[in-house]
Amino acid sequence: MFRFESVKHYHRLLESGAVTCTAVVEHYLKKISAAGRLNAFIHVYSEDALNRARQLDEKLKTGGAKTPGKLFGVIIAIKDVIAYKDHPLTASSKILQGFSSVYSATVVEKLLAADAIIIGSCNCDEFAMGSTNENSYYGKVLNAADETRVSGGSSGGSAVAVQADMCMLSLGSDTGGSVRQPADFCGLVGLKPTYGRISRYGLIAYASSFDQIGIFGKNAEDVAIALEVIAGPDENDSTASQKEVPPYYPQLRKDNGVKRIAYFKEALEHPALDSEIAEAINLQITSLREKGHTLTPVSFEYLDYIVPAYYILTTAEASSNLSRYDGVRYGYRSKQPVQELVEFYKNNRSEGFGKEVKRRIMLGTFVLSTGYYEAYYSKAQQVRRLLKEKTDKIFSEYDFIILPVSPSVAFKIGEKTADPIAMYLADIFTVFANLTGIPAISVPLFRHSSGMPFGLQLMAKPFDELSLLQMTDRLLKN
């Protein structure tokens, strides 16, 4: 019986002949079928995955894999907002039902070039808008640790796919915490890299100045290998950084000494934060001090402005990005008879978009409208600038910032759906990294009295993912 431990361990099994790529793909296809009730996958690429596995097995058998890719035979799932040529791409929305991508995202091309096997696309909140994966046209995703609870969002399907051993690694997207929060709810490592570290070409846009592709894994080593493969410049994405990609995995175990770590006192004393989560993080702070690290409380007076600024800016960008979905060239088209083009658009979009997407489009249109632009959008941009300046100042003195990931562990299905404001406020600790563009990671360290996993969030200065991964590895191994 195959059991996945890590990418490097899996590669040793392949090299020894103990397993084959084909047998491993068959194993995961059975796991996906058996866990169908979790609703993690929208589309499973069974034949594609098996054919690719056979090709890789043959390559290994005939000696063609003398220099195998870093992700040789690794089974990976992708969120249903990442384009894969000739495969369905719907953003979990009715408006894109039946649509197949005409090209592959840069990250997909890099995965395939590294000999990975893409096994399917994962369920998510519609157009990545949500914190629970309850907003999908294809239904909610269940948390494998407790099926009465949410998986987190918007990348809940990608998280559960790894959590329930339906793949080895998965990709999600993180606009305001959509990798880190489901990773926290599902007990995984979830990395949101620096804005621009990974190309967004082929990622369906929600809020273009916030979106970043992220990685789910069970350990820091596997996430480091995946990041090394998919990071880097891209001529198709002008926002992708030209900075050189470090050898993340080879440097992961280098002892980089004691660190200077800041934490926001206002965050750990916030009334919304679960007392057990606060206690666990405070104990971790004490433990890190005992190991020689310097941990200092830092006042952060802008905490209560973060969520409002985030939702003003992201909904404004979403209202623009989603205007392209009109039913003219592709996607859902209403069957209602119309006399005018405006009515045609209105019917397509009213019937094709879900409730939460329509809510955010309307909010974004409102904050951009005449008379409100200065009052809301411009003010939110000013807050974003202040946050960036404050963050730069903190990182001039400290290596990391520690924050909770979420105010609570995974909550019950349906618990917050009637109150969108409460849902939005649940993002209070994650949206900060997206507003400022810094890298952040969810580290699964703790278990709540409810039985649910949770962790802490580490943030670092831009393009210092290596330090984040090194510290994550140390925390998980202590």
Concerning whether 154 is annotated as a catalytic residue, the answer is yes
Contact 364, 317 (CB under 8 A): yes
Greater confidence (417 vs 244) lies with: 244
Sort 379 into a burial class: Cβ within 10 Å, 0-12 / 13-18 / 19+.
Answer: middle
The mean per-residue pLDDT over the stretch 31-59 comes to 97
* Number of neighbours of residue 279 by Cβ within 10 angstroms: 13
Q: Whole-structure pTM over 0.85, yes or no?
A: yes
Which tokens go with 118?
Answer: 């893409």
CA 320 from chain centre, in angstroms, equals 22
Contact 212, 435 (CB under 8 A): no
The pLDDT value recorded for residue 217 is 98
424 pLDDT tier (thresholds 50, 70, 90): confident
Instruction: List domains and CATH numbers for the chain.
Output: 7-230 (3.90.1300.10)
Q: How many helices (H) and strands (E) does the chain have?
A: 16, 13
Q: What percent of the chain has pLDDT over 70?
A: 99
CA 199/CA 232 separation, integer angstroms: 7
Identify which of 359, 351, 292, 296 has the alpha carbon closest to the alpha carbon of residue 326.
351
Spell out the residues 6+ positions from residue 56 whose beta carbon is closer than 8 angstroms to its own. 21, 65, 72, 73, 115, 117
Q: What is the CA radius of gyration of the chain?
A: 22
CA 15 from chain centre, in angstroms, equals 31
- Is the predicted pLDDT of residue 316 greater than 70, yes or no? yes
The pLDDT value recorded for residue 65 is 63
- What number of residues does the chain have? 478
Phi then psi dihedrals of residue 460, to 5 deg = -135, 175
67 pLDDT tier (thresholds 50, 70, 90): confident
The pLDDT value recorded for residue 426 is 85
Annotated catalytic residue within 154, 155, 406, 442:
154
The mean per-residue pLDDT over the stretch 315-335 comes to 94
What angle is formed at CA 461 by the lines to CA 456 and CA 464, rounded to 5 degrees? 85
Per-residue pLDDT of 251-307, as tens digits, reads: 999 877 899 999 999 999 999 999 999 999 999 999 999 999 999 999 999 988 999
> Any idea what DSSP says for residue 297?
E
- Is the predicted pLDDT of residue 245 greater than 70, yes or no? yes
Amino acid at 124: C
Concerning whether 335 is annotated as a catalytic residue, the answer is no
Per-residue pLDDT of 111-167, as tens digits, reads: 999 999 999 999 999 999 999 999 999 999 999 999 999 999 999 999 999 999 999
Phi then psi dihedrals of residue 68, to 5 deg = -65, 155
The pLDDT value recorded for residue 401 is 98
Place of tokens 């249109």: 365
CA 3/CA 19 separation, integer angstroms: 11
419 pLDDT tier (thresholds 50, 70, 90): confident
CA 237 from chain centre, in angstroms, equals 19
Annotated catalytic residue within 121, 151, 170, 178:
178
Identify which of 444, 460, 459, 458 has the alpha carbon closest to the alpha carbon of residue 216.
444
The pLDDT value recorded for residue 260 is 98
Amino acid at 26: E
* Number of neighbours of residue 97 by Cβ within 10 angstroms: 14
Tell me the pLDDT of the chain averaged across its residues: 96
Per-residue pLDDT of 292-304, as tens digits, reads: 999 999 999 998 8
The pLDDT value recorded for residue 422 is 80
Concerning whether 178 is annotated as a catalytic residue, the answer is yes
CA 262/CA 291 separation, integer angstroms: 15
* Number of neighbours of residue 48 by Cβ within 10 angstroms: 17
Per-residue pLDDT of 180-232, as tens digits, reads: 999 999 999 999 999 999 999 999 999 999 999 999 999 999 999 999 999 99
Q: Do the bridges between strand 453-460 and strand 400-404 make them parallel or antiparallel, or are there none, so unpaired? A: antiparallel
Which tokens go with 367?
Answer: 């904050």
435 pLDDT tier (thresholds 50, 70, 90): very high
The pLDDT value recorded for residue 296 is 98
The mean per-residue pLDDT over the stretch 350-370 comes to 96
